[in-house]
């Protein structure tokens, strides 16, 4: 096992360093504190900086995904019967585009760890956010080659932004608060499901889909700018003097001595700073990177077993999202006259997802992660049952589908709300479970990459499934059976942990 010298000792003393080697923490090294520029300007206390960074990151995600998630929900209806200029085929360009996106995300995840180690998690977040802007811009004037090409771009962005998010979320929390912090992030992020559909409904009804995509592009760019506030700076502990150099990381290093949080160039600028804090930052980095091995250990047999047990749950997170985004809107709003209702149904989805993330996910730190996974699975099962009723025709289901709200059944809003609650519980507990079981830097980044890989495979398979087997009453057993199968497999996997 390689030896990683730190201020607490060496890695041979496994019991003493397991909890000490907390990468990307706010630390005090010979009077030099690492903090982000926003917190330094705002005078935030050291113990609160980690949470401030999570809030800043979540706000960036809020803007980006209030644009993208709302775009994703209406693509299956807006581009449902598109005749391609390049292919000459009439098909659902929206689902095809999203399928390509998640297929591209899978190989992209192989290079994301290297991108994060080289450029830092914050810069990686910004790159991912700009990829989303490229994709949404291509939808303003729909041209088949441009949309398909930008789908590949946003696939890379999908891989980079979510792995970097997992790295930053884990590094700014600990075991005692990980469920709460994951809920804090997911709660703010989930507000995108409230604000996005609300603005989308107003813009879509007042203008058209082109106007909506223009607004969505603007919000995505604003979200990318929020990540800039996460850039780390070195601040002297005694007099608060702002050092001219950016610390490459708040002491976040991988086993090769490369920082995970900020870019390679940031620490190099410390060489130009002759302040006490600059010298301390260089010394702290040298202590870690100078004798670190370049051979990153792989997962142990125990960790590999844990990861394999989580694979069905990871796949379910992807397949369930693809079902809700592609198939569910076609179940309750199959006609163009009902497209406006899609925004409102997903507004309810966003409300319950936010409540689930901010309120229910907090209790996972006390009652356990698995308990909330089971609650989320039960909620999803009930939502599937309601979707089945919505798909049934009036001869099989009488007046229960009335009254109609905004031209769709009231059950659409109930099912959408339940899907949102289930999504919040599944995602927050997925991040919490990974954070609990993969604490070391080299394990953590690989585990989050594996999660995004499995989720992307699940979503790509789900969108491909909806293209090949469009939803209708005759295919109901195949469509709903596939969802039920992945749900059961995910519960069994978590049960075996």
Mean pLDDT over each residue of the chain, to the nearest integer = 74
Residue 344 resides in a domain: yes
490 φ/ψ angles, rounded to the nearest 5 degrees: -65, -40
Residue 58 resides in a domain: yes
Residue 442 resides in a domain: yes
Number of domains composing the chain? 1
Residue 264 resides in a domain: no
The residue whose two tokens read 């992209």 is: 108
At 342, which CATH number?
A: 1.20.1250.20
DSSP codes, 220-272? HHHHHHHGGGG-EEEEETTT--B-SSPPSSSS-B-TTS-BSSS-HHHHHGGGG
Query: Using CA atoms, how far apart are residues 286 and 263, in angstroms rounded to an integer?
Result: 16
More confident residue, 191 or 365: 191
Q: What is the pLDDT, as a whole number, of residue 409?
A: 86
Q: What is the pLDDT, as a whole number, of residue 249?
A: 36
Residue 331 resides in a domain: yes
User: How does pLDDT run across 73-97, given as a tens digit for each residue?
Assistant: 777 667 767 777 766 777 878 888 8
180, 183, 184, 185 alpha-carbon torsion, rounded to 10° = 130
Q: What is the pLDDT, as a whole number, of residue 308?
A: 93
Tell me which residue range forms the domain holding 117.
50-229+297-495
Residue 18, both tokens? 């397991």
Residue 146 resides in a domain: yes
Q: 395, 400, 455: which is closest to 426 by C-alpha?
A: 455
Lowest mean pLDDT among 34-38, 175-179, 184-188, 228-232: 34-38
- Answer for the pair 189, 58: CB distance below 8 angstroms, yes or no: yes
Q: Which of 128-142, 219-233, 340-354, 452-466 has the highest average model confidence (pLDDT)?
A: 128-142
Lowest mean pLDDT among 56-60, 86-90, 394-398: 394-398
| 369 pLDDT higher than 70 | yes
Query: Using CA atoms, how far apart are residues 461 and 475, in angstroms rounded to an integer?
Result: 17
The residue whose two tokens read 């990381």 is: 249
User: pTM surpassing 0.75?
Assistant: no
Residue 23 resides in a domain: no
- How far the first Cα of the chain sits from its last, in Å, is 26
Q: How big is the CA angle at 35 (ends 34 and 38), to the nearest 5 degrees?
A: 160
**Cα torsion angle, 451, 453, 458, 459, sign:** positive
Q: What is the pLDDT, as a whole number, of residue 298?
A: 67
Residue 223 resides in a domain: yes
| 421 pLDDT higher than 70 | yes
User: How does pLDDT run across 19-41, given as a tens digit for each residue?
Assistant: 333 333 333 333 333 444 444 44
Average confidence (pLDDT) over 466-472:
81
User: How does pLDDT run across 152-166, given as a tens digit for each residue?
Assistant: 999 999 889 988 888
Query: Using CA atoms, how far apart are residues 106 and 127, in angstroms rounded to an integer?
Result: 17
């Amino acid at each position: 096992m390689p030896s990683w010298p730190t201020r607490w000792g060496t890695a041979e003393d496994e019991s003493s360093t397991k909890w000490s080697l907390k990468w990307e923490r706010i630390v005090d090294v010979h009077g030099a504190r690492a903090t982000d520029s926003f917190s330094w300007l705002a005078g935030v206390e050291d113990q609160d900086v980690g949470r401030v960074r999570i809030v800043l990151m979540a706000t960036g995600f809020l803007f980006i995904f209030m644009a993208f998630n709302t775009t994703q929900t209406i693509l299956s209806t807006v581009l449902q019967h598109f005749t391609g200029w390049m292919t000459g085929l009439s098909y659902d360009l929206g689902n095809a585009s999203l399928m390509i996106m998640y297929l591209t995300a899978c190989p992209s995840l192989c290079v994301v760890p290297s991108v994060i180690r080289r450029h830092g998690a914050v810069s990686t977040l910004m790159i991912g956010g700009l990829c989303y802007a490229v994709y949404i811009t291509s939808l303003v004037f729909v041209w088949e080659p441009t949309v398909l090409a930008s789908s590949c771009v946003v696939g890379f962005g999908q891989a980079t932004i979510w792995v970097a998010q997992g790295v930053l979320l884990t590094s700014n929390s600990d075991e005692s608060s990980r469920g709460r912090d994951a809920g804090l992030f997911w709660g703010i992020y989930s507000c995108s499901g409230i604000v996005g559909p609300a603005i989308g409904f107003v813009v879509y009804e007042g203008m058209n889909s082109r106007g909506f995509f223009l607004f969505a592009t603007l919000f995505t760019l604003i979200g990318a700018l929020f990540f800039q506030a996460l850039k780390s700076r070195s601040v002297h502990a005694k007099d608060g003097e702002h050092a001219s150099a950016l610390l490459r990381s708040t002491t976040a290093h991988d086993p090769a001595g490369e920082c995970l949080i900020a870019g390679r160039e940031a620490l190099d600028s410390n060489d130009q700073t002759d302040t006490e804090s600059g010298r301390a930052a260089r010394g702290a980095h040298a202590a870690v990177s100078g004798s670190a091995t370049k051979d990153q250990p792989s997962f142990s047999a125990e960790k590999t077993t844990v990861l394999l047990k989580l694979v069905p749950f990871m796949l379910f997170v992807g397949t369930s999202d693809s079902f809700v985004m592609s198939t569910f809107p076609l179940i309750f709003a199959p006609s163009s006259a009902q497209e406006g209702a899609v925004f409102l149904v997903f507004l309810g989805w966003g409300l319950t997802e936010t409540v689930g993330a901010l309120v229910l996910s907090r209790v996972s730190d006390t009652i356990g992660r698995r308990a909330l996974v089971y609650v989320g699975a039960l909620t999803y099962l009930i939502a599937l049952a309601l979707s089945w009723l919505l798909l049934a025709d009036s001869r099989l289901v009488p007046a229960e589908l009335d009254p109609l709200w905004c031209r769709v059944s009231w059950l659409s809003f109930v099912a959408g709300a339940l899907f949102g609650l289930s999504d919040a519980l599944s995602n927050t507990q997925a991040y919490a479970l990974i954070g609990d079981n993969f604490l070391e830097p080299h394990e953590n980044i690989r585990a989050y990459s594996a999660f995004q890989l499995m989720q992307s495979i699940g979503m790509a398979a789900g969108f491909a499934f909806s293209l090949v087997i469009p939803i209708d009453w005759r295919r109901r057993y195949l469509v709903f059976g596939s969802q039920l199968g992945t749900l059961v497999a995910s519960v069994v996997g978590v049960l075996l942990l």
